[in-house]
Amino acid sequence: MDKINKMDMIMSIKEDILIRLTSIFREKFQDSSIVLTSNTKADDIYEWDSLKHVMLIITIEKEFQLKFDPIELSQMENIGQMIVVIERLIKDRNI
């Protein structure tokens, strides 16, 4: 696989994760106008409190069939960091 195709594949995986996360956020917050970016933080979304956070994590774990490490979860500052972790956990599972 050449370098360009590998980069395209990496971007498409990240884009797929972002699309799926956006769908989850829209459903949980009942807000179809939510647009996630890699820089989106909890403070950027109205009503993203601790209860919603737990609901989001449970839903994301089910959607992607993975389990987050609690320490890693506490260190995530934005959606971009979450995408990186999800991508890594998916790759680890498929090894």
Q: How confident is the model at residue 93 (pLDDT cuts 50, 70, 90)?
A: confident
- What range does the domain containing 7 cover? 3-93
Q: Look up tokens 């498929």; give the residue.
A: 94
Give how many domains the chain has, as a whole number.
Answer: 1
| 39 burial level (CB within 10 Å; 0-12, 13-18, 19+) | exposed
CATH number at residue 61: 1.10.1200.10
Please, which residues have CB within 8 angstroms of residue 59's CB and are 6 or more apart in sequence?
Answer: 24, 27, 28
Q: What is the torsional sign of CA 35, 70, 65, 63?
A: negative
pTM equals 0.86
Over the stretch 3-12, which tens digit does the pLDDT of each residue have?
556 555 556 8
For residue 60, what is the enclosing H or E element? Answer: helix 50-64
Mean pLDDT value of segment 82-93: 94
